Amino acid sequence: MARLKVAVLISGRGSNLQALLDAAGRPEFPAEVVLVISNSASAYGLERARAAGVAGLVIDHRAFPDRAAFDQAMDAELRRCGAELVCLAGFMRLLGPAFATAWRGRMINIHPSLLPSFKGLHTHRQALEAGVKLHGCSVHFVTPDLDDGPIIVQGAVPVLDGDDEDRLAARVLTVEHRIYPLAVRLIAEGRVELSGRLARVHGGAGQTESLLNPDF
């Protein structure tokens, strides 16, 4: 069976990209990474793409007069490589509404909080300041509104006594690396159905296998 063609957009470290590359390296995984685009030439994730033998491209937002022109350049490359799904993985540029609308239902993002709590930046600080006892991460479809699309999979971790932002971020990150490939697999298997503002996952294991993490 043909594997789903995935493009990954990054801005930096690329550890979630690595999780996707590792998953795609397994023959039974139903998706392959065909292109990595970074808006920054110094993103370490580009090294990860190279090491995995995947094409990497820099599209520097500073080279474009405005957001629409940058978005158009990305759109052209995504179409050229035949991407069927776009994964934002630590991609730290806001995308314009036309781009988000054009890729609606075919573009997902990983966000380091249990949405709809703690949108935007500094999510671990927000969680500590709110005093929540459970925190985590979400994979969701991208819409024109920031961190607001239908949620596909979430992973939860406890907030422990003595946590600071770094410790909490590290605990969440290990779960990010599990749920992002899971979400891609569910989509590639045709098990995710968009229904208005909701994403429904069909066929048993999916959300629940990641929701309560027995490792913690």
Q: Which of 7, 14, 46, 143 binds ligand GAR (CB under 6 A)?
A: 14
Binding segment for ligand GAR among 24-32, 66-74, 107-115, 193-201 (CB under 6 A)?
107-115
Strands 134-141 and 107-111 come out as: antiparallel
Q: Are 55 and 33 in contact (CB under 8 A)?
A: no
* Closer residue to ligand GAR, CB minimum distance, 76 or 170: 170
Give backbone dihedrals phi and psi of 179, rounded to 5 degrees, phi first: -80, -20
Binding mask 20-59 for ligand GAR (x = CB under 6 A): ----------------------------------------
Binding segment for ligand GAR among 59-67, 106-114, 181-189, 202-210 (CB under 6 A)?
106-114
Could you tell me the smallest distance in angstroms from the CB atom of residue 90 to ligand GAR?
Answer: 3
> In terms of Cα–Cα distance, which of 189, 160, 179 is closest to 114?
179
Measure CA 113 to chain center.
12
Q: Among this protein's residues, is 124 annotated catalytic?
A: no
What residues form DSSP beta bridges with 198?
195
> In terms of Cα–Cα distance, which of 155, 170, 146 is closest to 113?
155
Could you tell me the smallest distance in angstroms from the CB atom of residue 202 to ligand GAR?
Answer: 25
Q: Are 115 and 138 in contact (CB under 8 A)?
A: yes
Binding mask 175-204 for ligand GAR (x = CB under 6 A): -x----------------------------
If one asks whether residue 110 binds ligand GAR (CB under 6 A), the answer comes out as: yes
Residue of 61, 111, 124, 202 marked active site? 111
Give backbone dihedrals phi and psi of 56, rounded to 5 degrees, phi first: -125, 145
Q: At what angle do helices 15-24 and 165-188 cross, to 10 degrees?
A: 30
CB atoms within 10 A of CB 176: 22
Could you tell me the smallest distance in angstroms from the CB atom of residue 13 to ligand GAR?
Answer: 4
Q: Which of 3, 13, 106, 167 binds ligand GAR (CB under 6 A)?
A: 13
Which active-site residues does the annotation give? Answer: 111
Q: Please report, as ranges, the residues that interact with ligand GAR according to CB under 6 A.
A: 10, 12-16, 89-90, 110-112, 173, 176
